[in-house]
Amino acid sequence: MSTLREALDGLARAARDAGLDDAAATAEGEALAATVAERSKGAFVPWGEQTGRTGSAAEAFFAAAKQGNRFRAGPTPLMNQLLLEKSDHAGDYAAALTDVAVTAQSLGEPGPDARGAAATILAAQAGAPMAPAPTVPVGSTPVPRQPAPGIGDEMLDQVRAMGEQVRRQLEAMGGNSPGGFEPRLQGDLAPQPPGSPPVEERGAPAPSLETKAAEPDKPAEPEKPAEPVKTVEELLAELDGLTGLKDVKDEIHRQAAVLRVEGLRKKAGLESPTLTRHMVFNGNPGTGKTTVARLVAGIYRALGLLSKGQLVECDRSELVAGYLGQTAQKTADLVKSAEGGVLFIDEAYSLSGDQYGKEAIDTLVKEMEDHRDDLVVIVAGYPLPMAIFISENPGLESRFRTTIDFADYSDDELVEIFSGMAAKADYDAGDDVVARLRELLKNVERGSSFGNARYVRNMLEAAIGQHAWRLRDVTDPTLDQLRTLEPEDLVEQKEEDEPAVAADGTLVPPDNPEPAQPVDIGDPGSEPVEPGPPPATEDKPEALEES
């Protein structure tokens, strides 16, 4: 099996082939790996060694895991960009992300919760509701590898198969070539005909300059025509395919219609009022805010209002620096990365109340004005704090005229979301499992901190972990056993143990809980991570509709 370093190098190569920033791809891969291995005892040590962060491995690891939590609910930013462009390279990039997820499962002392995280992350990379793809037989492309403690080869095979299924689903969505996407699987994901020579592994070093110089010059390839992007109709159909959110869907449809007509009036030479495109998303956690923001970015691009259509997510920790004066530059750099797309600021109200947050807000207002023709900012959070946050700053109040409220999900909608996520991850959740889920939902307190779709997403991850642990002694599980969840796989979420404190006062990662007691995977909307593992928090899972 490839090492994490090799998998990250393969991801960077896939990004370069797609014309993307390989450094940004590596950062995505590091965050994805940290999220998969977040609950594996001691995982931060090998992660730090293979990412070059040996000096502050624990701090960097948990900070990266917090960033990577976003990938549980939707595609990574670069994966999303390839999907929006209907790029022929989307399959390759998905396959490279699969390699990263598989290798991350073996970091430290892995348990079944790493399996659950990898499963939901890979399923989320397709980025849109899709018809079920044909099941890929587990172990159909076996490769030599060393078994990791606590996790069987069949579990690794199942994750590989899931990555292959995601790639097949991307291919089925169609691409620029006559046959749709033409993914080029590399390394141990690539099926080879009998008798073929070994294929260079993903993580193998790039050819040296001397080797390249010795190669004969190849004629320059003709420039490819611009790849088509998703249409407004396709993106609105994806929006309509989400569970619930009727009022939100109606408002986004209205916004799209207004902006379309505004564009047509401008083309016709008619006067048109300047409409603010920035928005406030009010709602509790897990009500679909980030998912809708991602679709808004694509819709605005399809309407010609944005040049790229990418979504850049952040919170206070990514805008505020440790010293006054640094925050302005940090905020400006983040805005620059979002130029041409949507900057989504979660829990934006956390910027109120201190001079660091004020510096970030002042910089944000200036950058919004400087880039008003090619930038949309969406701020999100709990309804009351968001209303106070906007009203307290005249610069924000004049720019955020559109507010969309995201209602909590009903039990029926949460069951539908759970079933959809399970199917997308190629698991069968029958009526008995759904009945067990309904029982658990009845006993959950529905306060403002309830995770909504995050709760059932985390419930599914825990169930996948329980499922893997249940099959740990089954030597040769059948396909039905590998796919079928049982009611006992669904368990109530447990709070984490308090982190231990070392003799020098630093935090050390807690021991892995017993596999029969799945724990909270963390909330990407929580406060910035301090050095060491995140403190124990109330269980607030994430979901398909993130934020």
Q: What type of residue is 312?
A: V
The conformation of residue 128, written as its DSSP 8-state character, comes to S
pLDDT of residue 111: 72
Give me Rg for the CA atoms of the chain: 23
Q: What type of residue is 498?
A: E
Check: CB of residue 185 under 8 Å from CB of residue 95: yes
Per-residue pLDDT tens over the stretch 327-352 = 999 999 999 989 999 999 999 999 98
What domains are defined for the chain?
A: 4-185 (no CATH), 245-406 (3.40.50.300), 412-508 (1.10.8.60)
Across residues 248-275, what is the average pLDDT? 84
Check: CB of residue 266 under 8 Å from CB of residue 272: yes
pLDDT of residue 486: 92
Single out the residue of 455, 448, 299 nearest to residue 385, CA to CA. Answer: 448
Residue 530: CB atoms within 10 A of its CB come to 12
Q: What is the largest CA-CA distance in the chain?
A: 72
Q: Is the dihedral of CA 43, 46, 52, 54 positive or negative?
A: positive
Per-residue pLDDT tens over the stretch 378-437 = 999 998 899 888 887 888 888 888 899 999 999 999 999 999 989 888 899 999 999 999
Rounded Cα–Cα distance for residues 152 and 368 (Å): 50
Check: CB of residue 46 under 8 Å from CB of residue 3: no
Confidence label for 492 from pLDDT (cuts 50, 70 and 90): confident
For the cut 70, the answer to whether the pLDDT of residue 175 exceeds it is no
Confidence label for 313 from pLDDT (cuts 50, 70 and 90): very high
Single out the residue of 37, 87, 76, 79 nearest to residue 58, CA to CA. Answer: 37
Q: What type of residue is 431?
A: D
Average pLDDT along the chain: 75
Check: CB of residue 78 under 8 Å from CB of residue 85: no
Per-residue pLDDT tens over the stretch 27-77 = 989 999 998 988 888 888 889 998 988 777 788 898 888 888 888 878 888
Strand 500-501 to strand 342-346: parallel, antiparallel, or no bridges (unpaired)? unpaired
Check: CB of residue 527 under 8 Å from CB of residue 271: no
Check: CB of residue 96 under 8 Å from CB of residue 89: no
Residue in the block written with tokens 């490279």: 96
Rounded Cα–Cα distance for residues 10 and 183 (Å): 14
Residue 247: CB atoms within 10 A of its CB come to 12
Rounded Cα–Cα distance for residues 331 and 318 (Å): 8
Check: CB of residue 131 under 8 Å from CB of residue 87: no
Rounded Cα–Cα distance for residues 449 and 491 (Å): 19
- Residue 458 — left, alpha, or beta (φ > 0 → left; ψ -120 to 50 → alpha)? alpha
The conformation of residue 109, written as its DSSP 8-state character, comes to B
